[in-house]
Amino acid sequence: MTEPALSVVATGLTGEFHALGVLDWPDLHPARHLGLLYRERDERVLLTVALAVRALRAGSVCLDLDRVRAGLTGRDDELVEVPDELWPTLPEWLDALAASPLVALGPAGDPARPLRLIDHKLYLTRYWQQEEQVRVTLQQRATSPSAPPPRQLDEWLAELFPGADVDPDQRRAVAQVATEGVTVLAGGPGTGKTTTIARMLALLVRQGVRRIALAAPTGKAKTRLEEAVREAARDLPRDVAASVEQLGASTLHRLLGARPNARPAFRHNRDNPLPHDVVIIDELSMVSLTMMARLTDALAPHTRLVLVGDPDQLSSVDAGAVLSDLTQAAWLGTTRGGPVVRLRRNYRFTGLLGDLAEAIRAGEAEQVLGLVTAGQPTLTLTPPNHAHDALRARVVTAGRAIQAAAVAGDAAQALRLLDGHRLLCAHRHGPFGATTWARRAEQWLRASGAVIGAEGEWYAGRTVLVTVNQPDWGIYNGDTGVVLTDTGRALVHLGGTTRPLSPELLGPTQSLDALTVHKAQGSQFDAVTLVLPDVESPLLTRELLYTAVTRAREAVHVIATPEALRAAVQRTARRASGLRDRL
């Protein structure tokens, strides 16, 4: 790690942690500001505030004082050892927090204080309120008396699930949506989540429900949801299939009516709830606690909520692990075993990739190593020092094909080819980061003779990932596209849209030459190459590996040492949260 530039406001304990690289500018300034505002001078309390902010930036909803020492990382995501003498003991830490004017104690503590201590977990009050909003809304819906089933329910289910070989989990989920206030549908790739959604929609149409919303966290995910539901609708009875096919999806931001730079930030909230009778959210693993709180706040009392996703995937980029918490909670107070329905039977993600995904999910490291070293061309493990030639060939082949289609003016073909091969990384920066590998991929394309940059920044064949929402133009974070030129003018064609757009309308973008695994969530590719970091990296987790592998339809190529791959399978991500325990 390079020597950090020390902050002039970092003194005492916070200064020590800053010098070690554990705390950074975004952590220090809130702690200093709150200390001045509330006249708090206890260094143990100010350190805890800074660590709580840091925990949020790392994806946790709160700071777990019992586990705060484990897995601390520095500015380059490397592990940092903090000398024992710098840590307060837990009893004195808790006593200092209990005496602080910054900290409210327990659920009933002063709501005006900026932090809240619940047992050994310290929250910023806003995130405690968000977690409580989600918990109360879901628990009320899960524990309230169910609506009586329609008289024709068994008849409708028999129509939607004909034959003897019926998936009992899918059937239960579809039946549940007819009567319950909340349903959580969990399953891995190929378990029939979209098929189940389509049958839920058919049952709701039979039930006379018309105001139904379908949404997903990103533009890419909502497009895939629309396409998958329409495809699944072909197997439904004809008289309901048309109604299901006509249902469009939106991003979660658009559903809630995002209003950039306005207050309130979303048009729909408890004072102006969503007008829908049923709301179905796909890819819930990508939804942060803050967005989940926004959603639950905007639900009308009668609205049924269906939450769908794969709980073994990476959690959202922002703080929270909502789907993981919901699927692991005991759902206290429910009389029907809770709202979670897990799909176990796999219909599509089978063969080598299916075996690999299941071995990763189960934590079977030796089985994973055996699969990737068995000599199969669609499943390989290559050491980092021998990876360039094979990866270069894949990157150049895919990139040249996209550029050829773009130069020929074939936008549809260029967009199809975008999902052919994707290079994924665990880190954003550094030798194993997406930034480094994207630069390397561009160099390989240039060396291959591809015309890159001759027409300026927006050349034909440039790939584009949208990174901010632009709701006025129907553009959302996660949308992908490719640049074509029309009489010398660059236009970006985005998947799922009907008209090309000027690059100036997109806001910040990045290329698709290499992405973090997080940014690939909600997408599928024919082949995936995954670059894993060294074994010491705390980002090396089972969830990251599983998410990357399940992005592929046909082939997975892992660039890593056997030791790093083994560590990834054995190490699980740990985000601090209170939602699971309190449900």
Answer whether 296's CB lies under 8 Å from 324's CB.
no
What is the C-alpha separation between 464 and 46, in angstroms, rounded? 42
* Beta carbons within 8 Å of 375's beta carbon, 6+ residues apart: none
Range of lowest pLDDT (227-241, 299-313, 458-472): 458-472
pLDDT for the residue 450: 61
pLDDT for the residue 565: 93
All structural domains of the chain: 12-126 (1.10.10.1020), 144-343 (3.40.50.300), 352-570 (3.40.50.300)
- Binding-site annotation, residues: 187-194
Is the pLDDT at 238 greater than 60? The verdict is yes
3-state secondary structure of 464: strand
Answer whether 101's CB lies under 8 Å from 114's CB.
no
Mean pLDDT for 331-342 is 81
pLDDT for the residue 103: 94
Q: Please give the full DSSP string across 72-117, using - where no structure is assigned.
A: -B-TTS-B-PPPGGGSPPHHHHHHHHHT-TTEEESTTS-TTSSEEE
Q: What average pLDDT does the chain have?
A: 86
List, for residues 356-386, the tens digit of each pLDDT value. 999 999 999 999 999 999 989 999 998 888 8
- Binding-site annotation, residues for ATP: 187-194
Instruction: Find the angle CA(282)-CA(494)-CA(529) to the nearest 5 degrees.
Output: 70
List, for residues 72-96, the tens digit of each pLDDT value. 777 666 777 888 888 889 999 999 9
User: What is the pLDDT confidence band of residue 1, given thresholds at 50, 70 and 90?
Assistant: very low
CB atoms closer than 10 angstroms to residue 555: 19
Q: How many CA atoms lie within 13 A of 496 on its CB side?
A: 21
Q: What share of the chain is helix, strand, coil (3-state, %, to 5)?
A: 40, 15, 40
